[in-house]
Amino acid sequence: MCGIFACYHHPDVQKFKNTALKMGKAVRHRGPDWSGNWIANDTILVHERLSIVGIDSGAQPLVNEEGTVSLAVNGEIYNHRVLRKGLKKAYNFKTHSDCEVIIPLYLEHDIDAPRHLDGMFSWVLHDKVQDRVIAARDPIGITTFYLGRSSTTPGAVFFASELKCLHPVCDDIISFPPGHVYDSKTDKLTRYYDPKWLVEPTNIPTKPVDYMELRTTLEKAVRKRLMAEVPYGVLLSGGLDSSLIASIAQRETIRLNELVKKSSGTNGAINGSSGEADETNRLVGIDDSNELRTVQVLPQLNSFSIGLPGAPDAVAAQEVADFLGTKHHTFTFTIEDGLNALSDVIYHLESYDVTTIRASTPMFLLSRKIKALGVKMVLSGEGSDEIFGGYLYFHAAPSAAALHGETIRRVDNLHLFDCLRANKSTAAWGVEARVPFLDKQFLATAMTIDPAEKLIARPERIEKYILRKAFDTTDEPGTPAYLPDKILWRQKEQFSDGVGYGWIDALKDNAALNVTDEMLANPKEEWGDDVPDSKEAYWYRCMFDEHFPPYCAKTVMRWTPTWSDQTDPSGRAIAVHNQKYDDKK
């Protein structure tokens, strides 16, 4: 992940430059490798870089040869080579960066440029000739992005990767909506990502599930995300989603290594245009038969897990790693470690949502360990539960139509919950998380399946049945298994539960020590209608207020299950959980 800060139409941009650089420095944790800035007209772009692709020449902001278009990007564009080859007009690329292609795309397609991108991204582009800014965020909001305005500088528009860059200079901040593009010509946000399943939620799909299509589309999504010139790995909790991603990534890593050996490459590069080179390029999703510089060939795939000693996820993760043959790293943390990190976690998350903080704390601690090992990119399993109705409360879905509507709502709000968690917990330590389940093509496949196929009907059809079935190769003789049966068909554990049941219990106990009954009954006046419904929620909100002014709260949403009266978001609070709260001891 990189970090960006930008201000358009500032009344004195030269005088503002020092402040802009300071705001950019506030997200240097996201991009510790290099810093850059660019001023044109009354606009400044600031960039803090984490180098993963084009590491030798991809410093930002990127500027075209004429110096008329500048660009600051946080993200990865997986189809950048295909886009380069498809340009109608020749463009003199100055770097190997996957992001530079956005400039000629804008020159050819104007505000429609984001429609052509396949990746995760937040970017701000300035056209000096038109004195115009275009800003866009990826379809689901995998990368975090905010838009701000200030009553003291009316007419100026601010953009940043995190709230902490904006609240010192803005008093009106929103979360930049995913799948939208901002145009300073109109001063409006417009949706560009508009698949039918998203914009017509009452139109219920009737397409039968195609297990082969589901499997191959996810495999392709993982393959794209192996684009890197630095060591990478996978987050492996031992649950279904992360285990599937690890399994596919390990298969592709092994296959790629074998092909590289055959085609006489050095340093991971494949030279010439042999059939093996073409096949390797096809496998990793790169349309360039002459050069393969965007894949780091690893002798063994790294996998990482964390938990309290004896945590259910850690045990399952080790079993998956042994089955797959990854180079596995199991880290443990103590409850005291987690409690000590809470304030820092909330500072980086910029949220007070209970379930997000519970799950982010171990992920935050794990990311620091990963960075210490020299790994800069990891694959993660976010999005599957939202797409397939995998949370345990989906057992209570009253109908297929209701389930479909709830999956759309969950996917549409991922940028406020799991995407925010994955992005900011890892970026806090200069690590990038990529999420294959939220690939555009995979979403187009999975979200257009008849939702009746996703309904849970125990014991025959447990949560995420069709995803499990797509990777159950027991009916295909001679085909190696993706996962052991006990993992493939393991009950859903929310990450905050899976790291060890004592973690949430400790959070509740400590919240009770810090928040009295009287405090809970008398919330702060500045919170308005956004009143905490538990001592734990109250505790987190107070920590949030220590870092951020009250107007930042409107960028936060609280996660609660549907079709349930419960207020605790833990999976253990659902009656169908094998170790629900009543049984935990």
Query: φ and ψ at 30, to 5 degrees?
Result: -75, -30
Q: How many CB atoms lie within 10 A of CB 172?
A: 13
Per DSSP, 179 falls in state T
Distance CA 325, CA 311 (A): 21
Ligand-binding site membership of 12 (annotated)? no
Catalytic residues: 2
Residues 6+ apart with CB under 8 A from 387: 407, 411, 437, 443, 446, 447
Secondary structure of 247-311 in the HEC alphabet?
A: HHHHHHHHHHHHHHHHCCCECCECCCCCHHHHHHHHHHCCCCCCCCCCECCCCCCEEEEEECCCC
CB of 120 within 8 A of CB of 67?
no
What is the three-class DSSP state of 171?
Answer: coil
What does the alpha-carbon distance between residue 288 and residue 269 come to, in Å, rounded to a whole number?
12
Buried b (16+ CB within 10 A) or exposed e, 332-353: bbebeebeebbeebbbbbbbbb
How many CB atoms are closer than 10 A to CB 549? 14
* CA dist., res. 90 & res. 264, Å (int): 32
Please give the Cα distance from 585 to 572 (Å, whole number).
Answer: 12
Give yes or no for a contact between 182 and 133, defined as CB atoms under 8 angstroms apart: yes
* Closest alpha carbon to 244 in 498, 486, 483: 483
Q: Is 98 annotated as a binding residue?
A: yes
Q: Is 306 annotated as a binding residue?
A: yes
SS3 (DSSP) at 344: helix
Which backbone phi and psi does 40 adopt, to 5 degrees?
Answer: -145, 130
**Minimal CA–CA distance to 204: which of 402, 393, 398, 391?**
402
**Annotated binding residues for ATP:** 235, 306, 380-381
Report the binding-site residues. 98, 235, 306, 380-381
- Extract the annotated binding site for L-glutamine: 98
